[in-house]
Structure 1
Amino acid sequence: MPAPHPSARPAGRTPLPPPDRPRRLRDALAFYGVLAVLCACYLGWGLVAIGLSFVLPPRIGGPLGRRAIGTGFRFLLGLMERTGLVEFDLSELEPLRRARGLVVAPNHLSMIDVMLIVSHLPDAVCIMKAGLERNPAMGGGRLAGYIPNDAGLPVIRRAADALREGANLLVFPEGTRSPDGRVGPFHPGFALIARRARAPIQPVFIESNTRYLSKGWPIWRRPDFPLRYRARLGEAVTVAGPAEAFTENLHRQYTATLGEARP
């Protein structure tokens, strides 16, 4: 499959409306309630998972940890939606539920992006910031076999091995969250991984009407509501030619599809 070319924003795709609900006590109580549940889930499962990671072999602990995280994210997203704080349009992610050995590469608006994708992506391995695997609250990532980004070639090798074994890889080409909603520069590491594993890359375009949990936004700082998120899939591609040129070409597709609009 040839390298992707920039494409225009799909016809009829309207921008997400901004948060437009007056601040009210019910929203504040729901927000901090959901936040308490989320923190309890992360810390509770993290402590259990970090213990299991010392007991279970990776061939058992890895798939178990990944299933648990996917289930937990589906529960948390459903809870957010039931409170009326968030509206999701994620129907176009449904084909990911059948994915195997796929590199899934979304743009990175906020920490919620991980939840949106992993809730739909089976057996998802993530590349995470080095050091987080030692955080008790992130013990679930250690059990799941998430890969710390602490070294170049070993990371590429481990990620490619996971893909060959049938797991899916979630990686954000920007490497970090956007501070302003725009698509940042792409790093070619994800393309090197895909080429080494001979795996297709699945672009995912995430849009939102809020900067909540973007770079620099603390989790406890309350945004305006309702938050709205929409995700859709691009055409899956394989890496052709030099990784740097492929990455630049793919970046142009993201910026052309998502435009310069900011929440």
Structure 2
Amino acid sequence: MLLELLDRLRRLIATAVCFTTFGVGGLLLWFVVFPLLSLLVRDRLRQSVLARRMIHHLFRFFVGLMRTLGVLSYEVHGLDKLQRSGLLILANHPSLIDVVFLIALTPRADCVVKAALQHNPFTRAAVRTAGYIHNETGPAMVGDCIATLQRGNHLIIFPEGTRSVVGQALQLQRGAANVAVRGGVDVTPVVIRCQPSTLTKGEPWWRIPARRPHFIFRIQDDLSVAAVTQGCTSDALAARRLTDYLADYFAKETACDG
């Protein structure tokens, strides 16, 4: 019992160190690194490419820090499937740090983020300089998503739009399906599992689980959008059918993983 208590206290301190490091790093990017990048590189597209590369390597460092300090462990299956260009990566969203992992695993990653992150002092420098697509641009968001895929970037989207609620069925938005249908792009699903659950929706960072959480990332084979939407008479109908298919797909895959 005492050993379990000491382990939990150690992981709480390590988690605090990791989140502090993340916050300080975000502020340094905002006040120092990205302003300097803007001065040295005038081309906006080139800025975003360099910023995304920096974020990719920083997130790899952060993931390594969390593992080294014993905050979590993880395993990745099918990583070689990401060694292509222009992938539409759709994932379930059980934890706050899912996007950190996916960007760390994915070179040239673009992503759709909440508009509120543009105003968060710890994240807005990264979001703005990297040119990530925010989710309040309406119909223009779909066009921006298709454009970034055509430039060869990977695009990460969580179709739920927010973190999953433990014990509730997945509720997917249609934005990701619209991108796939209108862009004529197949889907690369990533199934994420975390046991025990941590950093779920509404859960504070300091609520440490009883044992160290273990993340599993499974990069699945591509899903053919044309096969799923065959016979649909409009893009709207195709997006609706694809959304329903993806909701069922992720529900089954996460249940199988469990």
TM bin, normalised by shorter chain, reads 0.7 to 0.9
Residue in 2 that maps onto 1:100: 85
- Pick the aligned partner of 2:241 from 233, 242, 245: 245
- Pick the aligned partner of 1:176 from 148, 157, 162: 162
Structure 2 SS opposite 1:205: strand
Q: CA RMSD in A?
A: 2.2
* Cα deviation digits, residues 169-226 of structure 1 (max 9, x gap): 0000111101216551112211211223222210111001133211101234333331
Q: Summarize the alignment of residues 107-118 of structure 1 with structure 2, pairs less than 5 Å apart.
A: 107-118=92-103
Q: Report the CA distance shift for 1:35/1:154 in structure 2 as closer, same or farther (over 3 A).
A: same
Q: Report the CA distance shift for 1:196/1:49 in structure 2 as closer, same or farther (over 3 A).
A: farther
Instruction: Give structure 2 stretches of 5+ with no counterpart.
Output: 230-237
1:136 deviation in Å?
Answer: 2.9
When you count helix as a share of all residues, which structure comes out higher?
2
Which structure has more relative contact order (CA 8 Å, sep 6+)? It is: 1
1:261 deviation in Å?
Answer: 8.3
Question: TM-score under structure 1 normalisation?
Answer: 0.84
* Contact 1:209-1:228 at 8 Å conserved across structures: yes
Give the Cα–Cα distance (whole angstroms) in 1 for the partners of residues 101 and 169 of structure 2: 18
Residue in 1 that maps onto 2:108: 123
Instruction: Give structure 1 stretches of 5+ with no counterpart.
Output: 1-20
1:42 matched to 2:38? The reply is no
Give the Cα–Cα distance (whole angstroms) in 1 for the partners of residues 162 and 58 of structure 2: 23
Give the Cα–Cα distance (whole angstroms) in 2 for the partners of residues 52 and 153 of structure 1: 33
Structure 2 SS opposite 1:180: coil
Aligned pair count reads: 241
Structure 2 SS opposite 1:126: strand
Structure 2 SS opposite 1:160: helix
Residue in 1 that maps onto 2:119: 134
1:33 matched to 2:17? The reply is yes
* Contact 2:196-2:212 at 8 Å conserved across structures: no
1:163 matched to 2:149? The reply is yes
* Cα deviation digits, residues 41-73 of structure 1 (max 9, x gap): 222223335525754432111111111111011
* Contact 1:101-1:163 at 8 Å conserved across structures: yes
1:140 deviation in Å?
Answer: 0.7
Structure 2 SS opposite 1:43: helix
* Contact 2:192-2:217 at 8 Å conserved across structures: yes
Give the Cα–Cα distance (whole angstroms) in 1 for the partners of residues 193 and 80 of structure 2: 17
Q: Summarize the alignment of residues 207-226 of structure 1 with structure 2, pairs less than 5 Å apart.
A: 207-226=193-212
Give the Cα–Cα distance (whole angstroms) in 2 for the partners of residues 176 and 130 of structure 1: 12
1:100 deviation in Å?
Answer: 1.0
Give the Cα–Cα distance (whole angstroms) in 1 for the partners of residues 26 and 80 of structure 2: 25
- Pick the aligned partner of 1:76 from 41, 44, 62: 62
Give the Cα–Cα distance (whole angstroms) in 2 for the partners of residues 93 and 28 of structure 1: 30
